[in-house]
A and B are shown apart, each in its own frame.
Chain A
C-alpha cells in the first residue's frame, strides 16, 4: 500500500524559506516521488506530499524518517519557527486532506490502514475538496460542483462515503462527471476489486531536480588583456566539461557574463548547431566572439552559465547521428563564421513564385534546408544580380537614357503590375545595352514616368 506524507506549511508562498525549488531539493533527499500542492486555503498555506513506502527501509522506519525531516525543517529558519501540519494518508489526495485534520500537527503522525485513514477523513467538511486537484487534468475541483454537493445534502466526507457504499458512483458520474469520480476513488481508496489492480494504476510521478551548471572565475586583479581573460574562460569551460561528463549531459547553449569592479557588465551567448558533451567548440566560438565583440572595461570576474542541457540519451534532443561527419564539419564552420560575423551576415536565398521581382527573393536562415521551387514564373530574361534599391536613370530631353553611359533598349517591354488590392506597382521592364556592352535590367514606372535600373546581366 502507498503511504503518503503530507506537509502543509502555514505561511505565505513568497517567503524565501519556503522557496519551492529549495524545498523540493530537501524533500528529494527523502523520496523521489513528490507532488507540490497548491496554496488554496486563504491563499496562505501550501505544501508538499511525498510517497514514502519505498523509502522507509532506508531510514529505519517511519519515525526516524519523520524525525530527521522535522529536524531539517527546523534548521531552515534560524529567526522564526516554521509552522506546518503533517499527516499521513493512503493516497495523495487523502494525505493532503488529512493535513487539514484538527489532529494534524508537527508531531509525528501515525501510520495506519486505509480504512483508518477513511475514518479520519469522515468529519472533514466537503468544502475541503477545493484543495484537491484532478489527477488527470491537474485542474482544481470547481467551487460550483462543491456547492452542488453541499446543497444535495453532503455535509462531510462521511456522508459521501456512506452514499458511495450504498449506491455506488452512478449518481455522481451522471451529475458531476468522471473527474470527480476519479478524485473520490483516490480519496476513499476504491480499487473496484480488479484482479491486477496495479496494471490500472497511474505510475507515481518522480521528481528530477533541476541541475544548474554555473561557474564563477575571479581574477586576482581586473584584466583588460583578452588572452588572460580567455585563460579564465578555458578554466570555466574545463569545469563545465567535467560536470557534463559526470552527469552524462550535453549542451548546445552557454552564456558568459563579464563583470567589472564598478558594476559594469557584458553578456555573450554561444550556441552550437548540435549539443556537445565536450567544450572544445564552445571555447573556440567564445574566443572568436570575444575577439569580435571586445570588452570596454576591465574584467574583475566572469560567470559561465550552461543554459540548455539534456541527457545524452534523451530522444527529445537532436540526435548525435543526425548528420554525417562532413555535414557536421560544415555546420561547425558556419557556426564559427556566425560567431565572428554575426548571424545576419550569413544566409541563403530562395525563390518564391511571385511575378514582382523583389518579392520573388526570400532570405533564409542557413540552418534551414528547403525544397527548391522548380516552377519559374516567366521565361522572360532575368538578370543575375538584383539591386536592393532601384537606381534612378537620367533621361535627356531627346528621351535618351543614361546610367554610367548611354543606354539602348534591346528587349521589352515586359509589363509587371501588382494586384489591384495591393500597393500599386505598374512597371514596364526592358533589357538595355550600355555603350560599354553591359546589359542591364531597367524599368519605367508608369505612374511617375521615371526610369530606374533594377538588375545586372552578369
Chain B
C-alpha cells in the first residue's frame, strides 16, 4: 500500500494513527448521559457504524443504556422503524409504554441460523425505513461482522450488537466497543475501542452513568416473610 492509498484511508476515517485523537466525520446521537457523551469522540452514539456492547451472560443492561437514544430517534423519525433482531426475551409492553416508547415502531425478528442472522441484519440495515437495529448474541465470525460493517457504511441509523464478554477478545471491525457491568445504582461502562483513538483495554477508564434503579429501592417497604405481611402491599391490582 503506497502513501497515497494510506492518506485516502485517513481522510475517510477508515484508518487512524494510534495516539492521535481524530474526530470522525458523521452523524451522532445523544446518549442521554452527559458523562458518557464526554468520553465519546462524536459526543454521542456514532451513527452509520457498528457498536458492540459486551456484558456478562448473566446481565442485560441494553435498555438502560439505549432507552434515551431510542426515544430521541422515535421523536425525530415518527415513521421510522426500530428492529430488534433475536431479542433474548419478550419486551414488556407495559414498561415500554411507561417509557413513552411507540411500540408500533418496533419490529421483532427471530432468526436462528447464522446465515439467516447475517442476511436479516444486512436487509434491515439497508432499508431506508430502519432507523435503529439492535442485535443480540449474533454468533457471527469476523468475516460476517465485516459484512455487517460494510452494509452500514452509507447508512445513518443506530446499529448495536450485544454480545457476551467471553467474546471480548475476538477481533471485530466495529467502530465502538464497550464493556458494561451493572453496579448497585449505576452502570459502569468501559470504552475498549473507539475509532480514531488508541485504547488499551487493560487501562480502559470506566464511566459511571446513573440509572433509575435507585428509585426502585426508595419506595422499599420493609418486608416480613410471614403470609400476613402481604396485606400491607404498596400496590394492589385486582378486580
Contacts and interface: CB of A to CB of B under 8 A. Distances in A.
B77 to A, nearest CB: 10
Contacts of A419: 238-239
Contacts of A377: 94, 237
Given A330-B81, A350-B103, A360-B94, A341 B111 contact: yes
Interface stretch (B2-10, B41-49, B60-68, B141-149): B60-68
A414 interface: yes
Contact of B58 (A337, A349, A436): A436
B198 interface: no
A455 B223 CA distance: 21
B204 interface: no
A387 B124 CA distance: 26
A289 to B, nearest CB: 13
The number of chain A residues touching the other chain, given as a range, is: 35 or more
Contacts of B221: 411-413
A345 B120 CA distance: 11
A387 to B, nearest CB: 6
Interface in A222-250: none
Q: Is the interface of B mostly helix, strand, loop or mixed?
A: mixed
B233 A428 contact: yes
Contacts of A428: 230, 233
Interface string B58-86: 11111110000000000000010100000
Nearest to B236: A415
A412 B223 contact: yes
A438 B59 contact: yes
A366 B88 CA distance: 20
Point out which of B81, B93, B103, B223 has the most chain A C-beta atoms below 10 A from its C-beta: B93
Contact of A387 (B89, B110, B235, B236): B89
B127 interface: yes
A423 interface: no
A346 B81 CA distance: 13
B182 interface: yes
B104 A337 contact: no
B167 interface: no
Contacts of B129: 326-327, 329-330, 333
A412 B234 contact: yes
A380 interface: yes
Interface residues of B, number: 62
A83 interface: no
A355 interface: yes
Interface in A110-166: none
Given A340-B116, A436-B56, A411 B217 contact: yes
Interface in A328-348: 329-330, 333-334, 336-337, 340-341, 345-348
B60 A341 contact: no
Contact of B230 (A347, A349, A415): A415
Q: Is the interface of A mostly helix, strand, loop or mixed?
A: mixed
A205 interface: no
A372 B90 contact: no
A317 to B, nearest CB: 23
Contact of A381 (B88, B119, B182, B216): B216
A349 B235 contact: no
A161 B107 CA distance: 71
B109 A357 contact: no
Interface in B85-101: 87-98
B51 interface: no
Interface string B165-177: 0000000000000
Contacts of B28: none
B201 interface: no
B166 to A, nearest CB: 16
Interface of B: 56, 58-64, 79, 81, 87-98, 102-104, 106-111, 116, 119-120, 123-124, 126-130, 182-184, 213, 215-217, 219-221, 223, 225, 227, 230, 233-239
Given A372-B103, A458-B64, 16 more contacts: A327-B129, A329-B129, A333-B129, A337-B124, A351-B93, A361-B90, A366-B107, A380-B234, A382-B98, A385-B60, A385-B87, A386-B92, A413-B221, A413-B230, A418-B238, A419-B239
13 contacts: A348-B106, A350-B103, A360-B93, A373-B97, A380-B235, A385-B90, A405-B58, A418-B238, A419-B238, A419-B239, A437-B184, A439-B213, A457-B213
